[in-house]
Amino acid sequence: MAKISPIGTTVAEHRRQRAERSAAYRAEERRLAQFEELARLVIKHRAALALSQQELAERVGTSHSAISRIESGRHKTSVETLQRIAEALGLRLVLGFESGPPDRPVRELVGS
């Protein structure tokens, strides 16, 4: 079900309309996209283990608010923190670079 704002349009529709009107908004959406993708992954894996944000924070050795900020998808996170989250979730962190055209990228990855 789509989220409906109090003024009667869906959140997605409101974001689309705002992006059409504002280059700065579009730039901010692009900047935050990578953080939102990471947030979705953290939430997905935390939920699969039936962990609360507090429980994950304890496993990571950080605060509940730090996990909440990461899962909001609006804040950057250090590689060290991502590594600790991966370990707490029983995962391996993989980082890399991508070159070439978007439809046929060349990826160079390193894992821990």
Using CA atoms, how far apart are residues 70 and 76, in angstroms rounded to an integer? 7
Look up the pTM and report it: 0.76
Nearest to 85 by CA among 110, 49, 109: 49
Tokens of 99: 């070159």
State pLDDT tens for residues 8-39. 778 788 788 888 898 888 888 888 888 999 99
pLDDT of residue 95 exceeding 70, the answer is yes
Over residues 50-74, the mean pLDDT reads 97
Domains of the chain, by residue range, sit at 32-111
For 32-111, CATH number out of 1.20.120.80, 3.40.50.970, 1.10.260.40, 3.90.330.10 equals: 1.10.260.40
